[in-house]
Structure 1
Amino acid sequence: MKVLDLFSGAGGLSEGFHNEDYKVIAQIEKDKWACETLTTRTIFHFLKNRNDLNTYYKYLKNGTNYKSIKINREFIYKKYPELKEIIDHQILNKKFGNPQNDKEATSLKELSRLIESALKFNDENNIDLIIGGPPCQAYSIVGRSRMKETAEKDSRNFLFYYYLNLVKEYKPKAFIFENVPGILTAKKGRVFEKIKHEFNNCGYEILTGPSNIDKDNVLDFGEFGVVQKRKRVLLFGFRKEFDFNYPDFTGNKYHWNHELTTQHLLSDLPALLPGDGDDHNLIQYIDTKRNLTDYQKYIRKDSIGIMNHKARNIHERDRKIYELSIKLAERGTQLKYPDLPDELKTHQNEKSFLDRFKVHTKDKIPHTVVAHISKDGHYNIHPDINQCRSLTVREAARIQGFPDNYLFEGPRTAQFVQVGNAVPPIMSTVIAKTIKTLVKGN
C-alpha cells in the first residue's frame, strides 16, 4: 500500500509502515534536522533491502558530524546513484501554511505538485493511506494552559485544514491522524467537532475508537508494548463507502518476557558521567556476551553500536538535587520542589510544577518522554547515582522504542526535540500491521 506521511518529524510514525513493507511515497516535514534524520533513515531502509547494511555501518563509523552530513553521504550516492533521486522525491522539507502570511510556508498547490512528482517517480497514480498529525502543542492541555488566550489564535489549531485538503485531493482509502487527547477538548470541543464536520463533508467518516463516547477512546501506548505510559488519540478516517470499524490494535501488540522497567531498558548501555559520551560518532556496545533482556535484544537488531549517547554537563547545584532525587526514588519517593533545602532553591514558586525534578526509577516503567527534554534534563534523571546525570538522546530514544541503528541528525537539542515529539516506532508498527489487515483488501 502507498503511504503519504504528513508532519513527519523524525519518522517515528512512518517507521512502522517501513517495517511492514508499505511504500512510502513522500514525507513532508518543516524541520531541516528532522529531514536529515529522515534522509538517513531512508538510506538505512534502502541499504537493508539490498542486503548491504555494511555500507550503512561504514557511514556510522566514518562519523556523522552534522556540519558535514552531505559530504559524509557522498560515498553512498556514488555506489547507489539512484538513491539520491529517491530521497529528493521522498523527503520534502516544506512547511505547511499560507505563503502570503509566512515566507517560509509552501502553498498546497506546490506541495501537490511535489507529491504528484513523487507518485510519477514511483510509477504510481494514487495514495492508499495518509498518516501523520499536526503539531500538538495548541491542542494539549498543558500547552493551552501555558499559552492562555493565545491558544485561541494559534495557527497550529488550523493545520488540520492542510491535512484535510490533501485528503480531499488524493482520496485515500483511509487516514490515521495521531494527536494528544487535548484535541478532543480544545476550544471546549469545538475544534474536534469542526474536524469531524469537515471530513464528513468530503466523504469521510472519522472515528476516535470503539466507544461512542470520544473521551473514552484515549489510548495508552504502554498497553501495546511501548515502554512508557503515553496517552494519545488515534483518529481513524475512511471513505464512507468502505464502512470500516475502528481498528482493533490489541491483536498486534508487543509482548515482552520481562517487566518493562528502566533497568531492563538501559542497563546494557555504556555508563557516562556528565559531559561524557558522543553526540554523533559510533560507540561500541559494552560486553556483548552479557545476558540481554528481551527488549534489549529487540532494540539492538541490525545494530553494531550506539550513537547520540552523550550526557549533558550539569551545574553543581543540580548535581546535588539529582543525588537527592535519586536517593528518594530508590526509596519509592519522588522529590517535590518545596522539600528542597533552601540553598538549592532558585525561585519562590512552590505551588506549580512541583515535580520538576523526576527520576526514571530503576524498577518501574519509565515515565513519558516529551520534547521538553530538549530544554533541560531535570524531568528525565538517570536512576544510577554513580552517573548522576540526565538521560542522553539514545536513552530517551530507547524509551521511545527507536532501534539503536536509528541515527538522529543535527545538534543535540534538535535530536532531543525529534525524539520527544515522535510517535514510538513500536506503536507505529502495531498500527501498520493492523491497518494492513483492515484496509488492504478493499
Structure 2
Amino acid sequence: MVIIDLFSGAGGLSEGFHKEGFKIVAQVEKDRWATETLKTRYLFHELKKNNDLELYFKYLTSKRSYKQIDDDREIIFKKYDYLKEKLDVEILNKKFGNPSNDKEATSSKEIISLIQNSLKYNNENSVSMIIGGPPCQAYSLVGRGRMGIDAEKDNRNFLFYYYLNIVKEFSPKMFVFENVPGILSAKKGKVFEEIQAQFDKIGYSILSGPNSGDLQNVLNFADYGIPQTRKRVLLFGFKKELDLQYPSYMNEKFDWGHALNAKHVLDDLPFLSPGEGTDGIVDYHNKKLTKFQDLMRRESPGVLNHQARRIQERDREIYRIAINKAKNGEKLSYPDLPTELKTHKNENVFKDKFKVHADNQIPHTVVAHISKDGHYNIHFDINQARSLTVREAARIQTFPDNFFFEGPRTAQFVQVGNAVPPLMSEIIAKTIKKNYL
C-alpha cells in the first residue's frame, strides 16, 4: 500500500505504518530539524532492512554536532551511496502556502510535482492512502483562547485546503487526518462542516468517528494502551463509492498487564541531576523491566537524547515541593508557595505553572510547550528533582529508544510534543491493514 505523509513532523504517525509494512513514498514537513529527524529515521529503517543496524549505531556514536549533520552521515553514504538520493527525493522539507505572500512557502503545484517525482523514482503510479494532519494551533481551544478574535483570521485554519489539494491530485482510496478536538468545535463547528463540504465536492466522505455527534468522537489515547492522557481526533476519509465504516481501533489496543503510570514508563532510564546527560548513547541500567519498557528498549544500543535541563536552585526547591504533593495525590498551586520562592505578582495567572508526572499516575499530555521550560513536566523522583529529558518525553509519547531526534534540544522537544504517538500509529495501521486491504 503506497502512502504519502503530509505535515509529517518527526514521523510519529508514519512510524506505525513503516512497522506494518506500508510503503511511504513521500513525507512533507516544513521544519528543518523535524525533516532531519525524518531522514535519520529513514536511515534506520533502510539499514535494518539490510541487517546493518550496527552502522546506524556507529553513526549515532560518532556524531559530533547537529551543526555537522551532513558530514556525519557520510559514514552511512560511503557504504550505501543510493541513500543520499533517496532522502532528497522522498523527504521534502517544504512549507505549504502561497509563495506570493510567504517567501518560505512552496505552492501546492510544486509539492505535487515533487511527490510525482518520488512516485516515479519508486516505480509506483498511484497512491493508496494519505496520512497526516495540518498543524493544529488555530483549531485548539487553548490556542483560540490566547489568540482571541485573531484566531478567526489565522490562515492555519485553512491549511486543510492544501491537504485537500493533495488528496484531489492523487485520488487515494482513503486518508487519516489527525488533529486536536478543537477542530470539531472551531467556529461553532463551522470549520469541520467546511472540511466535510470541501471533501464532498471532490468525491470523499469524511467521518470524525462512529458516533453521529462529532463531539462524542474525541479519543483518549490512554484508552488504547498509550501511557498518556492525550485527547485527539482521528478523521477518516474515503472515496464515497467505497461506503466504508469508521475504523474500530479498539480491537488493536495494547494490553500491557501492568499499570501505565510514570514509574512503569520511566524508572529504568538513567538517573540524572539537572544539567547532566548527553544526546549520545548512554548504557542502560540493569533492572527488572515492565512490558512497556522492554518494548521501548528493543533494537536500541542504549539511551539517546537523555540530557537534563539546568535549572535554578529556587525552581528545584519548588520541584521538590511539587513532587512531595504529587506523592499524596495533590497538585501544587502557585499561591501556596512560600513567599521567598515566588517570582510573579499575578499569582492566579501562574496558578498551575508546576506539574509533576506522578509515579503512580498515567502521565499527562506532553505538548510542544515543553520546549519553553520544563515546569509542567517534572520528573517524579525527588532525588533527581528536575524536568523531563527529551528521551523521557519521547517514552511517554511511545517513541522507541532507538529513535534519535536531530537538532538542538529545543527543536527536539517541539518534535516530541507535536507528534502522534508511534504506538497509536501502529494501532491505526494495523486496523487499516486488517479491515480495508
* TM-score normalised by the chain length of structure 1: 0.98
Q: Could you say which residue in structure 2 is the equivalent of 1:22?
A: 22
Of 410, 415, 419, 2:416 maps to 419
Q: Could you say which residue in structure 2 is the equivalent of 1:117?
A: 117
Supply the distance in 2 between the matched residues of 1:38 and 1:180 (Cα, whole angstroms).
22
Deviation at 1:117, TM superposition (A): 0.3
Q: Could you say which residue in structure 2 is the equivalent of 1:359?
A: 356
Once the two structures are superposed, residues 227-262 of structure 1 have per-residue CA deviations (whole angstroms, 9 ceiling, x without a partner) of: 001000000000001000000001111110211111
Q: Could you say which residue in structure 2 is the equivalent of 1:218?
A: 218
Deviation at 1:318, TM superposition (A): 0.6
Supply the distance in 1 between the matched residues of 2:59 and 2:303 (Cα, whole angstroms).
13
Deviation at 1:357, TM superposition (A): 0.2
Supply the distance in 2 between the matched residues of 1:388 and 1:219 (Cα, whole angstroms).
32
Supply the distance in 2 between the matched residues of 1:400 and 1:376 (Cα, whole angstroms).
18
Once the two structures are superposed, residues 114-138 of structure 1 have per-residue CA deviations (whole angstroms, 9 ceiling, x without a partner) of: 0000000000011100000000000
Once the two structures are superposed, residues 82-141 of structure 1 have per-residue CA deviations (whole angstroms, 9 ceiling, x without a partner) of: 111111111100000000010000011110110000000000011100000000000000
Deviation at 1:64, TM superposition (A): 4.9
Tell me, which stretches of 5 or more residues in structure 1 are unaligned? none
Q: Could you say which residue in structure 1 is the equivalent of 2:330?
A: 333
SS of structure 2 residue aligned to 1:270: coil
Supply the distance in 2 between the matched residues of 1:158 and 1:383 (Cα, whole angstroms).
40
Q: Within 5 Å, give how 1:205-284 maps onto structure 2.
A: 205-278=205-278, 280-284=279-283
Pair 1:312-2:309 in alignment: yes
SS of structure 2 residue aligned to 1:130: strand
Q: Could you say which residue in structure 2 is the equivalent of 1:35?
A: 35
Please say if residues 380 and 391 of structure 1, whose CA atoms lie closer than 8 Å, have aligned partners that are also in contact: yes
The residue identity in structure 2 corresponding to 1:74 is E
* TM-score normalised by the chain length of structure 2: 0.99
Of 286, 289, 294, 1:292 maps to 289
Once the two structures are superposed, residues 362-409 of structure 1 have per-residue CA deviations (whole angstroms, 9 ceiling, x without a partner) of: 111111100000000000000111111000000000000000000000
Q: Could you say which residue in structure 2 is the equivalent of 1:106?
A: 106
Supply the distance in 2 between the matched residues of 1:436 and 1:350 (Cα, whole angstroms).
51
Once the two structures are superposed, residues 1-46 of structure 1 have per-residue CA deviations (whole angstroms, 9 ceiling, x without a partner) of: 0000000000000001000010001000000000000000000000
The residue identity in structure 2 corresponding to 1:142 is V
Supply the distance in 2 between the matched residues of 1:331 and 1:427 (Cα, whole angstroms).
31
Pair 1:371-2:368 in alignment: yes
Please say if residues 63 and 69 of structure 2, whose CA atoms lie closer than 8 Å, have aligned partners that are also in contact: no
Please say if residues 260 and 361 of structure 2, whose CA atoms lie closer than 8 Å, have aligned partners that are also in contact: yes
Cα separation, partners in 2 of 1:197 and 1:64, compared to 1, 3 Å: farther
Please say if residues 26 and 91 of structure 2, whose CA atoms lie closer than 8 Å, have aligned partners that are also in contact: yes
Once the two structures are superposed, residues 171-220 of structure 1 have per-residue CA deviations (whole angstroms, 9 ceiling, x without a partner) of: 10000000000001111111111000000111000001110000000001
SS of structure 2 residue aligned to 1:148: helix
Supply the distance in 1 between the matched residues of 2:177 and 2:342 (Cα, whole angstroms).
42
Supply the distance in 2 between the matched residues of 1:61 and 1:416 (Cα, whole angstroms).
21
- Count of aligned positions: 437
Q: Within 5 Å, give how 1:175-214 maps onto structure 2.
A: 175-214=175-214
Deviation at 1:351, TM superposition (A): 2.9
Supply the distance in 2 between the matched residues of 1:32 and 1:127 (Cα, whole angstroms).
26
Please say if residues 64 and 281 of structure 1, whose CA atoms lie closer than 8 Å, have aligned partners that are also in contact: no
Supply the distance in 2 between the matched residues of 1:356 and 1:247 (Cα, whole angstroms).
38
Tell me, which stretches of 5 or more residues in structure 2 are unaligned? none
Supply the distance in 2 between the matched residues of 1:260 and 1:220 (Cα, whole angstroms).
14
The Cα RMSD (Å) is: 0.9
